[in-house]
A and B are shown apart, each in its own frame.
Chain A
Amino acid sequence: MEPIIHTKNLCKAFGDIPVLSDINLAIYPGEIFGVIGRSGAGKSTLTRCFNLLERPTSGEIFFDGVEITSLPPRELYKTRQSIGMIFQQFNLLMQRNVLDNICFPLEIAGVPRAQAKARALELLEVVGLSDKAKAYPAKLSGGQKQRVAIARAIAPNPRALLCDEATSALDPETTDEILALLSDINRRFGITIVIITHEMRVIETLCTRVAVISGSKLTVEEVLQNG
């Protein structure tokens, strides 16, 4: 099977300090892939390279067989629409209500308003927040905000979903709910999920394979008895 995300000799340095050295990694369609490591180990940097929020110093990154570091801007924007992302701090738009937050990536992709709204309502159902469509993010709990962020991220039907410490700001119970939701989304829509975390528990409950980043250089792949 062709990997959906893979890197070739990926290196990233901030100034003189190497954060990632010679990373060769392949993530396959439909899997839930974990990336674990201490704070500052570079796991977040690695994942942010997958959608070029961070530009690698050298090396190649492929998404769905296409090398993305050399893409012209317009095509990079298009590719990014196929890669959803959720964040530790949720990063919702505070001046838009829940429904319009979920419509946001669809607006960017040029989806007509009525169609975007219908899709957003459908996703609110998936994440269990149908009653909050008109609420503003400031009125939601952390767990609810992350559900909205998930709905927003998967609205344009992405092939992959990057989760950057998505549960680190949440309490254990809410974390479990969010993890269950992610697992559900993976199964129902076949979206590849990449989970960055410093919590082993998150990896244990969800992931089929895991990359361990330690030091500034090493990447180890391990298979767990999961999934």
Chain B
Amino acid sequence: MDEFLTWLQTYSPMLAKGLLETVYMTLMSTLLAYVIGLPVGVLLVVTEKDGLVPMPALNKAVGFIVNILRSVPFLILLIAIIPFTRFVVGTTIGSTATVVPLVIAAAPFIARLVEGSLKEVDRGAIEAATAMGASPWQIVYKVLLPESRPSLLLGAAIAVTTILSYSAMAGIVGGGGLGDIAIRFGYYRYKTNVMLVTVAMLIIVVQVFQEIGTKVSKWGDKRL
């Protein structure tokens, strides 16, 4: 028991800081990645062959870029863009520096999630809006986005949890957060206890984010 208390005294400040860093990295990256990913997702749907404003060449080009970014393993991306990260935030270690590669990795993923959600919208509703004289832009913000809101929120929960697990990888380059602790103590110094606790904390954080996403999505869905 005493042993446990000393252990707690030794590690809890670090774990608490790691938890905060993880949550900060995850939420910040998700938010910024949506700023890029949401419009790109809309663009992918709208410019499709039978979309509201068909532009097949642009659609292909954007889809291609999205696929390329999604193909690069996160660990490689993390290291490859170090110069860019330094250019943007002035440093390459710490949580804020990790946000940069996280955003770049997550934005194309979010674009695909958004694309999937928007494509679920009933074509009949889009057709009705078209028949009423709605412009493509009006259809996007008055039909596509509001009608797919529950699906977009579920997608956001997936995005948050995925970004969270990516953020844990940033420990490799000293990115901070729980993943960093797990790698430094559990992997480099064989402190299995610390590693197990950080993993358990990550599991809990994922559960919480997922649960919130599912609840909010259901709560706002007027079809239920």
Question: What residues make up the interface of A, taking CB atoms closer than 8 Å to B?
Answer: 51, 53, 73-74, 76-81, 83-85, 87, 89-97, 104-105, 107-109, 136-138, 149, 153, 156, 162
Residues of A within 8 A of B124 (CB): 87, 89-91
B131 close to A85 (CB less than 8 A): yes
Residues of B within 8 A of A97 (CB): 222
User: Nearest Cβ in chain A — how far from B47, in angstroms?
Assistant: 16
Known A93-B143, A94-B222, A108-B142; contact A83-B135, beta-carbon cutoff 8 A: no
Nearest A residue to B133, CB-CB: A80
* Docked CA distance A18–B112 (Å): 37
* Docked CA distance A15–B8 (Å): 73
Q: Per-position contact with A for B126-147: 1 when CB-CB < 8 Å, else 0?
A: 0111111111001000110011
User: Nearest Cβ in chain A — how far from B216, in angstroms?
Assistant: 14
Q: How large is the interface on B (under 10, 10 to 19, 20 to 34, 35 or more residues)?
A: 20 to 34
Known A87-B124, A108-B138, A136-B222; contact A93-B131, beta-carbon cutoff 8 A: no
User: Nearest Cβ in chain B — how far from A73, in angstroms?
Assistant: 7
* Docked CA distance A119–B181 (Å): 62
Known A94-B222, A104-B142; contact A77-B133, beta-carbon cutoff 8 A: yes
Q: Which residues of B from 95 to 132 have beta carbons under 8 Å from A?
A: 122, 124-125, 127-132
Nearest A residue to B143, CB-CB: A93
Asked if B224 CB lies within 8 Å of chain A CBs, one says: yes
Residues of A within 8 A of B221 (CB): 95
A81 close to B132 (CB less than 8 A): yes
Contact for A108 among B127, B129, B222, CB less than 8 A: B129
Contact for A105 among B133, B146, B147, CB less than 8 A: B133
A96 close to B146 (CB less than 8 A): yes
Contact for A73 among B128, B135, B143, CB less than 8 A: B135
B222 close to A53 (CB less than 8 A): no
Residues of A within 8 A of B128 (CB): 85, 87, 91-92, 149
User: Nearest Cβ in chain B — how far from A44, in angstroms?
Assistant: 12
Question: What residues make up the interface of B, taking CB atoms closer than 8 Å to A?
Answer: 122, 124-125, 127-135, 138, 142-143, 146-147, 149-150, 221-224
Residues of A within 8 A of B130 (CB): 53, 80
* Docked CA distance A90–B135 (Å): 20
Residues of A within 8 A of B138 (CB): 108
* Docked CA distance A190–B122 (Å): 32
User: Nearest Cβ in chain B — how far from A74, in angstroms?
Assistant: 8
Nearest A residue to B222, CB-CB: A136
* Docked CA distance A53–B147 (Å): 21
Q: With A87-B127, A108-B133, A156-B132 given, can you name 5 additional A-B contacts, CB distance below 8 Å? A: A85-B128, A91-B122, A97-B222, A108-B134, A138-B223
B133 close to A95 (CB less than 8 A): no
Residues of B within 8 A of A76 (CB): 133
B142 close to A95 (CB less than 8 A): no
A77 close to B134 (CB less than 8 A): yes
Residues of B within 8 A of A80 (CB): 130-133
A79 close to B131 (CB less than 8 A): no
* Docked CA distance A156–B149 (Å): 27
User: Nearest Cβ in chain B — how far from A82, in angstroms?
Assistant: 8
User: Nearest Cβ in chain A — how far from B124, in angstroms?
Assistant: 4
Q: A-B pairs with the 5 shortest C-beta distances? A: A80-B133, A91-B124, A91-B128, A81-B133, A77-B133
Contact for B142 among A53, A74, A107, A109, CB less than 8 A: A107
Contact for B125 among A81, A85, A93, A153, CB less than 8 A: A93
B131 close to A95 (CB less than 8 A): no
A-B contact pairs, 14 of them (CB 8 A): A77-B133, A77-B135, A80-B133, A81-B132, A87-B124, A91-B127, A91-B128, A92-B125, A93-B146, A93-B147, A94-B223, A95-B150, A108-B134, A138-B223
